[in-house]
Amino acid sequence: MPNLSQPDSSFQTVEMQESTALRIDAHHHLWNYSLAEYSWIDDTMAALRRDFTAADLHEVMSTASVDGAIAIQARQTIEETSWLLDCADATDKICGVVGWAPLLTGELGAVLDGFATRGKLVGIREIVQAEPDGYLDQRAFGQGMAELTRRGLAYDLLIRERQLEEAIRLVDRHPQQRFVLDHAAKPRIAASDMEPWRQHIHALGQRGSVFCKLSGLVTESNWSHWSLDTLRPYLDVCVEAFGPHRLMAGSDWPVCLVASSYAHWWSVLDEYFAPFSSVERQRIFGGTAIEFYGLAPLLRPTLEVAS
């Protein structure tokens, strides 16, 4: 097991009781499929060329004993954010939504005002991995980030390894903002590359306001030839860099289906974290997501977290 040293975090933790520990999927998607809007789903991902609804989500969650989930944007439209919030309002299983909003424009404040009564909007994300170098360094981006901080909204960092240094600069400019790194910045697992990803992950982990999602790793591997042993070195780095208290488990469903079933991914995480303490497992599989996204007031009464 890797060293579990824990950097100080500026955020108050949630004490989890064994009887009230929840299993939260910190990262999944929903969509009504169309070729025009999901052109990134190529022939190798043909299984994803269909609708994925809240009913489908409920079904797969039951296969892994997952209690709640956080819906993450997949399109950069206000309409999708509204639709995801409608989906979340219709079911207790979706505890929160990380939507999209125009961070680079003067319309951001008005857009967020329009969502002010939608209590399940817990964060914002952009598809930064597709943007050119320097995107996170823009002045307008920083102004948008300051608006999120003012409103208490989290920010999901969807980036690739090459953007980690930019992300570190962004975090340092906004010390009061809560950040979570999606998919551990997509390390090049299929190529068995560790550097410079490992070095930058450790540097980012030194910033206590940054958390990390253990999601999306199977799709960075060889889809048909991967195992826990394939992923173990990368999981070890994440644990070493962030500690169990700043990690959260997520599925990246339905994207994960090109390489793994929903239940199998959770079984892999269960196997890896089996040697950890019960408190650490409770944090990783639910407590961290509840704390980071402020989900406790949004959970249905029968599953409220004791604090």
Lowest mean pLDDT among 11-20, 68-77, 151-160, 298-307: 11-20
Question: How far is the CA of 145 from the CAs of 150, 158, 162, in angstroms?
Answer: 9, 15, 21
According to DSSP, the residues that pair with 248 across neighbouring strands are 213
Across residues 235-244, what is the average pLDDT? 98
pLDDT exceeds 60 at position 13: no
3-state SS, one letter per residue, for 101-170? CCCCCCCHHHHHHHCCCCCCEEEEECCHHHCCCCHHHCHHHHHHHHHHHHHCCEEEECCCHHHHHHHHHH
pTM of the model: 0.92
Cα–Cα distance between 8 and 222 in angstroms, integer? 35
What is the DSSP pairing of strand 94-99 with strand 121-125? parallel
Q: Give the model confidence (pLDDT) of 160-207 as tens digits.
A: 999 999 999 999 999 999 999 999 999 999 999 999 999 999 999 999
Across residues 269-294, what is the average pLDDT? 97
Identify the pLDDT of residue 256.
98
Query: Which tokens is 284 given?
Result: 């990783």
Query: Which tokens is 260 given?
Result: 């793994």
Identify the pLDDT of residue 297.
86
Closest CA to 306 of 66, 17, 12: 17
3-class secondary-structure state, position 297: helix
User: Which letter, b or e, does each residue of 213-244 get, where b requires 16 or more Cβ atoms within 10 Å of its Cβ?
Assistant: bbbbbbbbbeeeebeeebbeebbebbbbbbbb
Reported as a pLDDT band with limits 50, 70 and 90, residue 298 is confident
Identify the pLDDT of residue 300.
67
Neighbour tally for 1: CB within 10 Å: 9
Place of tokens 């551990």: 184
Identify the pLDDT of residue 118.
95
- The more confidently predicted of residues 10 and 107 is 107
pLDDT exceeds 90 at position 18: no
Q: Give the model confidence (pLDDT) of 88-106 as tens digits.
A: 999 999 999 999 999 999 9
